Amino acid sequence: MIRTFSVAATLSLIASAGYAADRWDGSDDLDVSPLGCEAGAAPTVVAKDYDGGQPTNPPDRAGQDITVMDVPKLIGIGYFAATTQGMEEAAAELGNVNVTTDGPTEANIDDQITFLDNFITQGVDGLLFAANDPVAIAPVLKKALDKGIHVVGYDANSEPDAREWFVNQAEFNGIAKAMVDSIAAEIGDDGSFAIVTSTFTTPNQARWIAEMWAYAEQCYPSLEWLETVEAQEDNILSFNQATTLINKYGEDLDGLFGMTSVATPASAEAVTQAQLCGEVAIVGLATPNAMKPYVASDCVKSVVLWNPVDLGYAAVHVMRAVADGKLEPGATEVEAGKLGTLSIVNGSEVLLGAPFIFTKDNINDFDF
């Protein structure tokens, strides 16, 4: 069997006994850890020494008001509007955190670095970020740490030593299992699929895809992976890329994965306009409001995500705990208000929880 993985160029991977020799690496060469094939397998919590960075001589802000700037990948989309909502809710609840979100209007790492650099110059107490590129963003985050500014990531990580903590919305292998199980339930164990992602260097998408590769190899070796394409978190480009895949593969395309809250509804719209609902399955990561029309029309059966409002909420609580000296290297858990106690995994990651699957039965219970 031959599988095709498109990274910067297309690689043909020849499988032996249904198992490919290489993998789709995305932006890194980290080890993959696929979950078991059985239903309900939980993400593995890994015991690991603290691997984050530390600020240089940070001022004592315990119990005092702090000013925090949040710089997501981009502003103006529903997903990061939801994380901002959660941050504002946590700040209002705590009463001693002033948090403001600002950032680029496109998912551009150079623009994101400029925003972060400007806020460092202003002398804020803390920076929250969701990285467009884990390596490129590291120097400016380390600059913040050198200035005594607390740095906490969420949604998309940097290199670990460039920030203190990262709030992980779900373990990568847990997302991968939910995604692949969902599409296999729709297209069968031997169907074919393609992926619309943001960029090949965006850290969370790259990690999810690498774990999807590993899990599919282990649990669905007859699934055929056709191609992965970039769409830059852009709605029009995502729609065009999905349409190109539909036209390119025709009847050989059974399913599409959307790896972002932009790519998934755009892919669903492409399938809808091509009048292929029921013939090409769409499974992806997206906010429920953007997907409700497609779920209502039965064009989309499964939307995989977490609650981004809770993600932003947790990030602010982690920042407050760091500033108060209550979250230090070696900790195994942290209190996060209404979310309760969150576990520390993988050295310096705060785990929000398992992924959630939105379906026609529950999607209208959510509004974000």
Contacts 24+ apart (CB under 8 A), 204-208: 204/155, 204/156, 204/157, 204/172, 205/26, 205/259, 205/260, 206/25, 206/26, 206/27, 206/28, 207/26, 207/28, 207/30, 207/172, 208/172, 208/175, 208/176, 208/179, 208/259, 208/285
Give the separation between CA 119 and CA 98, rounded to whole angstroms. 14
> Which residue type sits at 356?
F
- Give the Å distances, CA to CA, from 193 to 5, 21, 109, 254: 11, 19, 29, 6
Helices 172-187 and 203-219: angle between axes, nearest 10 degrees:
50
Pairing of strands 10-16, 2-6: antiparallel
Structure tokens that stand for 343 in this block: 């576990």
Looking at the chain, the number of H-run helices and the number of E-run strands are 9, 17
Domains of the chain: 2-30+171-305 (3.40.50.2300), 66-169+308-339 (3.40.50.2300)
DSSP symbols for 61-99: -TTS-EEEEEE-S-SSSHHHHHHHHHHHHHHHHHSSEEE
At 7 the pLDDT is 29
Say whether pTM exceeds 0.85.
no
SS3 of 277, please?
coil
Residue with tokens 């895809």: 209
Low-confidence ranges of the chain (pLDDT < 50): 1-21, 25, 43, 45
Q: In the chain, where does DSSP find H-type helix?
A: 78-94, 109-122, 138-146, 172-187, 203-219, 235-249, 263-273, 288-296, 308-323
Burial (CB < 10 A; 0-12, 13-18, 19+), residue 47, is exposed
For residue 126, give the H/E element and its range. Answer: strand 126-129
SS3 of 2, please?
strand
At 38 the pLDDT is 87
Give the separation between CA 327 and CA 119, rounded to whole angstroms. 23
Read off the pLDDT of residues 154-181 as tens digits, 9 standing for 90 and up: 999 999 999 999 999 988 899 999 999 9
Read off the pLDDT of residues 75-128 as tens digits, 9 standing for 90 and up: 999 899 999 999 999 999 999 999 999 999 999 999 999 999 999 999 999 999
At 18 the pLDDT is 31
Task: Report whether 87 contacts 313 (CB < 8 A).
Answer: yes
Task: Report whether 73 contacts 56 (CB < 8 A).
Answer: no
Backbone angles phi, psi at 94, to 5 degrees: -75, -40
